[in-house]
Amino acid sequence: MKSESTNNEIEIFEIIAHGGNARGLAYEALTAAEDFDFDKAEELIKQAADELTLAHNTQTKLIQNELNGVPNEKSLLMIHAQDHLMTAISEQKLIEHMIRIVKKLAPKQN
């Protein structure tokens, strides 16, 4: 059974919000690593990952709805949300790598 497409603005804004939160937390983690506060950096990266999970869960819900015959409206806002999430994921992975590099370059404490 095919239904009319749905707008899903709430879900779209959830993806944008959680993706933005993740990006902000990842950059805070990088700043903490620059200060050699790796415990704080690790906690912030974990929080960023949690935010990405929330965004991804919403995205998965939208995809599952579409697979079950409830198509989503293809809008510029939806494209923006997808782009925002993809960028947040990419930046988090890059920042995680940068933090590992900073750890290797950190002065050794006795």
Q: CA 93, CA 88: separation in Å to the nearest integer?
A: 9
35 annotated among ligand-binding-site residues: no
* Joined tokens for residue 36: 């050699």
- Does the annotation mark 84 as catalytic? no
Residue 1: count of CB within 10 angstroms of its CB: 5
Residue 76 makes CB contacts below 8 A (sequence gap 6+) with none
> Of 56, 80, 84, 97, which is the active-site residue?
80
User: Which residues are annotated as part of the binding site for Mg(2+)?
Assistant: 83
User: Which residues are annotated as part of the binding site?
Assistant: 83
Known catalytic residues are 80
